[in-house]
Amino acid sequence: MNKYILSKKTVVNDLATFYSFLIGLFIAFFIGSLILLIQDQNPANVFSLMLKLSVGSINSLSSSLNKAIPLILAGLGISIMNSVKLWNIGAEGQIFLGAIAVNLIYININISNSSLFIVILLASGFIGGAVCILFPAITKVIFGVNEIITTLLTNYIIIGLTIYLVNGPWKDPKSLNFPAAAYVGEEVYLPTIFGKLSSGFLVCILFVIGAYYLKEKSVFGYEMRIAGGSAMTAIYAGINAKQKAFYAMLIGGGFAGLAGAIELLSQTHRVSTGISQGFGYTAIIVAAITGMRPVGIFLVGCLFGALTIGGAVIQTIGVSSYIAEIIQASTLIGALIAQFFFTYEIKGVQDG
């Protein structure tokens, strides 16, 4: 009985993703504690402070939820694209182009009804995100060009474009040290619900429900699942797999673009390189950890939003804010390791 073999389980526990997430979170906090200990910090103190400063008051809780919005929206976009088994590594760029699109429309048209204007601006953000992924989508669908690479590279093109805009054509002369475009007017700020919580959060919840419906309950979602499972089955079923993939990509990009729009209209109020601080990449972690489930993305997005705020505020006691990012990344590594044990089994071999 000293031989072992690895085999794939045919039936995977329904809650495997959830358990993996918990295990991952546990491992991550363990690693985080170790790092804190090395830095002569008391992990219990730091974590309780993080907890207090991220969800302890209306203000901090609303800041945390504000941070969750872009993670959730971009994560949803990634999960929709994953229905057709495509990766969107380009959420970061889509967030930027969403914000750029908002500013472009804001500069060029003026609508006196501000709620209508806001809706139009949010829609332009969505369209901006979709435009951002248009080229990867076209080349994927027509020529089969690897979308991981094209969406990834698009990020840097869009971020480059942003830097160009805020240093050149859109440069606000009033902003001296930090290159940025001019602020948008207060009439298009997203109103807050309570504390600092932006009404963008309601939009976000609406889109969580929308993404859930689209993926799980709609004909389009069904067609995406079949197309993602097997392109040949899709053709056999008379489903235009390429068309579904194309739409899935545009919608996925749009979700991230909307995140950019909300970020602009509720947080930064102007285009700069600060529109996204790696939200597009963290969103990939969020989506991957939850097994691409919309409701899971919502919950983990909120948690990660709180972690980010917690990480930012503990700087005041001399702890690096990067501890939050390390915990986020380690959670996914831990979850991947746990996932392995849910999908594979190690069997003993009988001799004889």
Partner 1 sequence: MADVQLMGLLNATLQAATLLFIAALGELITEKSGILNLGVEGMISIGAVTGFMTAINTENLFLSIIVGVLSASIFSSIHAFVTVILKQDQTVSGLILTILGLALSSLLGKKYVGKKLMVKIESISDITEPSNVLEVLLNQNFIFYLAILLMITTSFVLKKTMFGRRLEAVGEDSRAADSMGLKINKTQFIATCVGGAFAGLSGVYLTLSYVPYWTDNMTSGRGWICLALVIFGGWKPYRTAIGAVLFGFLEALVPRLQTYGFDLSPYLVKIAPYLITILVLVILTIYKEGKTGAPGNIGRPFFRENR
Partner 2 sequence: MNHKILEAKNISKSFGKIQALDDVNFHLYKGKIHGLLGENGAGKSSLMNILSGIYQPEKGSIIFDGDKQKKINPESAARLGIGMVHQEFRLIENFSIKDNLTLSKANIYIDDFEDAFKKYSEIFSLTVNQNTLISELSVGEKQKIEIIKLIFNNNNIMLLDEPTAVLTPQETNQLKNSLETLSNEDEKTIVFITHKLKEIKEFTETIFVMKNGQMVAEDLETASVSDKDLITLMMGEINTAVVEKNNEKGEVKLEVENISLETDAGGFNNLNDINLSIKAGEILGIAGVSGNGQVELANIVSGIQSNFDGKITIKGQDVTEKGVRARKKLNLSYIPENRLGVGLAPGVSILDNSVVREYFSASYGPHLSKNKMVNYLNLLVKEFSIKTGEPKAEISTLSGGNMQKLLMGRELISNPEVIVAAQPTRGLDVSAVETLHELIVDQRNKGSAIMLISEDLDELFKLSDRIIVLYEGKIIKEFEINEANTNNVGLAMAGVIE
Residues that bind partner 1 (CB under 8 A): 6-8, 35, 87, 89, 135, 139, 143-146, 148-150, 152-157, 160-161, 163-164, 167-168, 278, 281-282, 284-285, 288, 320, 322-323, 325-326, 328-330, 332-333, 336-337, 339-340, 344
Q: How far is the CB of 158 from partner 1 (least distance, A)?
A: 9
CA 56 to chain centre: 24
* Three-class SS state of 127: helix
Answer yes or no whether residue 211 interacts with partner 2 by CB under 8 A.
no
Beta strands in 33-182 (DSSP E): none
What span, in angstroms and rounded, lies between the C-alpha atoms of 132 and 119? 20
Task: Fill in the per-residue mask, 232 to 251: x = in contact with partner 2 (CB under 8 A), - = not in contact.
Answer: xxxxxxx-------------
Q: Which residue has the tokens 């691409």?
A: 292
Residues 77 and 251: beta-carbon distance below 8 Å: yes
Q: Which does 10 bind (CB under 5 to 8 A by kind): partner 1, partner 2, none?
A: partner 2
Answer yes or no whether residue 10 interacts with partner 2 by CB under 8 A.
yes
Residues 91 and 158: beta-carbon distance below 8 Å: no
- Could you tell me the sign of the dihedral formed by the alpha carbons of 126, 132, 138, 141, in that order? negative
What torsion do the CA atoms of 42, 44, 49, 50 make, to the nearest 10 degrees?
100
Contacting residue, 217, 278, 322, 344, with partner 2 by CB under 8 A: 217
Answer yes or no whether residue 296 interacts with partner 2 by CB under 8 A.
no
Answer yes or no whether residue 5 interacts with partner 2 by CB under 8 A.
yes
Which DSSP letter does residue 11 get?
Answer: S
Applying CB under 8 A, the span of 150-158, 200-208, 231-239, 274-282 interacting with partner 2 comes to 231-239
Q: Which does 351 bind (CB under 5 to 8 A by kind): partner 1, partner 2, none?
A: partner 2
* Three-class SS state of 8: strand
Answer yes or no whether residue 352 interacts with partner 2 by CB under 8 A.
yes
**Considering CB under 8 A, how many residues would be counted as binding partner 2?**
29
